Amino acid sequence: MKIALGADHAGYQLKDKIKKYLEQLGLEVRDEGTLSGESVDYPDYARLVAHDVIEQRADLGILVCGTGIGMTMAANKVNGIRAANVSNEYEAQMSREHNNANVLALGARIVKEDDAFKIVDKWLATQFAGGRHERRVEKISGIEKEESQTSASPVRSA
């Protein structure tokens, strides 16, 4: 399994620790940066990792920023990405099992290092359940496809 990693300045230290952890597990890692605490723009790294996943240079992606929120928002703009901002093992499990998340986002200022490793373990070990969840994930993909084909938003009368 190959994992793409990306972080901004707030997440780079945790990203580097996750990278070493994954390599110790025998996984191949594609590190998209950043490599320091110098201020950078998180959407750039979210996009790189998202494209690694979509273009099959990686099986899954992990993103780290201060809260995980910005990375999640940016990654989810890439068609086919289902990024989940996760702060505990249960959310990690459900994001894979029910939503088939292909990108995990973590908040370095939210999640402790030991908890981050547990979250990553749970996320990687959990398979998509399919079944009724498949229909829902397909609906998400359908919305994505429809929204990319039109710039008009649906209007509802009150």
Catalytic residues: 65, 98
- Evaluate the CA torsion angle 67, 10, 115, 93 in order and state its sign: positive
Are 69 and 107 within 8 A, CB to CB? yes
Neighbouring-strand partners of residue 78: none
Are 6 and 103 within 8 A, CB to CB? no
Backbone dihedral region for residue 40 (phi beyond 0: left; psi -120 to 50: alpha; all else: beta): beta
